[in-house]
Amino acid sequence: MNIVILAAGQGKRMNSALPKVLHPLAGKPMLGHVLDTIKILGYEVCPCLVLGHGQSAVRDFIDQRQYSVSIARQEEQKGTGHAVLQALPLLSSSETTLILYGDVPLIQAQTLESLLRLAQNGAFAILTQVRQDPTGYGRIIRNLNAEIEGIIEEKDANSEQKQIREINTGIIACATKDLKNWIQQLQPNNAQGEYYLTDIVGLAAKEGVPIRTLHPEFAFEVEGVNSRSQLAQLERVWQEHLANQLLTQGVTLIDPARIDIRGHFQCANDVTIDVGCIFEGTVEIATGVTIGPYCVIKDSKIGVQTQIKAFSHIEGSVVKEMAIIGPYARLRPGTHIDSHAHIGNFVEVKNSHIGLGSKANHLSYVGDADVGQRVNIGAGTITCNYDGVNKHRTTIEDDAFIGSDTQLVAPVTVGKGATIGAGTTLTKNAPAEKLTISRAKQLSVDWQRPQKNKSKD
């Protein structure tokens, strides 16, 4: 199969230096949605991208994400037919060609599979839609036998044709040898002075090619984006769709209108998610998890019956079952929190392993550390992991107790069952089962507190 993705448009109404197809929807550039949907189809196919405006930025995106594509360039935009013309040399004439659009991001794989089945045996398949308000779209023209005769763009339509409610989505599939023949016959005889891809439908009808239509299951599948307003509207429609999927599979959403999923979100049943939560990248949530309001979770796994309390930020981390995180906690990449551990308010953990049942409940920073089981880390504790050039690790063994306002200057080890007195700055290893403390001697001296100078009248 051949796949052509038209992505050459400038998108003037976006008012942006960023090419339109790279504007994100649900955390991913629109073009990325289309390319990922093609992967779901399962065909071994290298899509052909037709690029024009901002092609350097689009190429960078393709390279960064390592998509396998071929590139055709449309240096001067003369319409959709002209865009497809640029791709023709890259298409195999013996295959079917599917035409998609980089700014129509939410087309679903199952819809495309159905469309391709309709295009078998040399038929022409068109994805159409019936709309209450068809304004702005090309209309499907049918004869008295309900057979398609052609498509008329709105600017070229008469008043009667404008009353037609079946519209063209632009997504088609047909035999490539026919496509190449029809594209060569296009003429810019229209109000726009452009080469319309839609004109090939009339050519197909004249040749007696079977023309078959399909409606998408969801209206959002064929919504194109031409402005930031349309992009914002489509974002909310898509998020509503994702929220409904979660509700169906047994997830409790306190307010389905206030959740944002920006990536691949795998969520078990009996999970409760409060308002304002954002899930980015690849996130896995296990059964029985509760997530408080306004949490951000990115590229992380959360274990069974864990509690994520309000305003917590978790990125690149693994949290095992029945842990408690937050409120106002931050887990940075490389963090692993074992079962029954507690990470409390205003605690930051980075690139560290927190063992079974260990606790850091208040106002602490644990970075580049290996913390054993049943360790208590007091408020205000800091692992001083950075010497200005290199990072160093701290090891805290099982059953240790770290007093409040302690600095552990890495590399350093706190032995099993050791106690570190509050206010200690630890620069040497602390032996197991002993109290280690370093403080200046407490003194009380006579002293007069300075007084404010009284202002003069």
Pairing of strands 148-152, 139-142: antiparallel
Residues 6+ apart with CB under 8 A from 114: 214
Q: What are the residues whose beta carbons fall under 8 Å from the beta carbon of 159, sequence distance 6 or more?
A: none
Helix (H) or strand (E) holding 267: strand 259-267
Distance between CA atoms of 118 and 123, rounded to whole angstroms?
7
From 264, 313, 336, 362, the catalytic residue: 362
Whether residue 23 lies in the annotated active site: no
State how far the alpha carbon of 366 is from the alpha carbons of 218, 261, 299, 353, 389, in Å.
Answer: 47, 29, 20, 9, 18
Q: DSSP assignment of 290-349, as one string? A: EE-TT-EEES-EE-TT-EE-TT-EEESEEE-TT-EE-SS-EE-TTEEE-TT-EEEET-EE
Q: Which two tokens stand for residue 369?
A: 């550390």
What are 337's strand-pairing partners? 319, 354
Contact 299, 283 (CB under 8 A): yes
Cα–Cα distance, 347 to 357 (Å, whole number): 16
Q: Under a CB-based contact definition with an 8 Å cutoff, are residues 261 and 277 in contact? A: no
For 454, other C-beta atoms within 10 Å of its C-beta total 6
Q: Do you know the residue count of the chain?
A: 457
**Cα-based distances in Å from 348 to 89, 280, 329:** 56, 19, 6
**Sequence letter at residue 132:** Q
Residues annotated catalytic, as ranges:
362
